[in-house]
């Protein structure tokens, strides 16, 4: 993502096809390979509803619920 712009089509293609277990593996592999946090990189490289949708996919259902409940409390 960094340096060459964000390939939004690639993000959609890759992230939308993962189940919860494969997404966790993808997040861990991204961290090991690039020494960067995938969720943070997506948050910094995208915006609006597109950003929120991708972050929901990366977080998975349970962590997305936690994230939404935290935002409602604050």
- Structural domains in the chain? 8-73 (1.10.220.10)
The whole-number pLDDT of residue 1 equals 63
Nearest-10 crossing angle of helices 20-34, 8-15: 130
Q: In angstroms, what CA-CA distances link 69 with 43, 62, 72, 74?
A: 18, 11, 5, 9
- Model confidence at 6: pLDDT above 90: no
Split at pLDDT 50, 70, 90, the class of 7 is: confident
Query: Can you give the pTM of this predicted structure?
Result: 0.79
Q: Dump pLDDT digits (tens) for 18-73.
A: 999 999 999 999 999 999 999 999 999 999 999 999 999 999 877 776 777 777 66
The whole-number pLDDT of residue 73 equals 67
């Amino acid at each position: 993502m960094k340096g060459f712009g964000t390939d939004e089509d690639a993000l959609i293609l890759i992230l939308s096809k993962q189940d919860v277990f494969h997404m966790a593996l993808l997040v861990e592999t991204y961290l090991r390979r690039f020494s960067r946090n995938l969720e943070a990189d997506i948050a910094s490289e995208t915006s609006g509803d597109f950003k929120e949708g991708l972050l929901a996919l990366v977080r998975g259902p349970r962590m997305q619920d936690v994230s939404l409940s935290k935002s409602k409390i604050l």
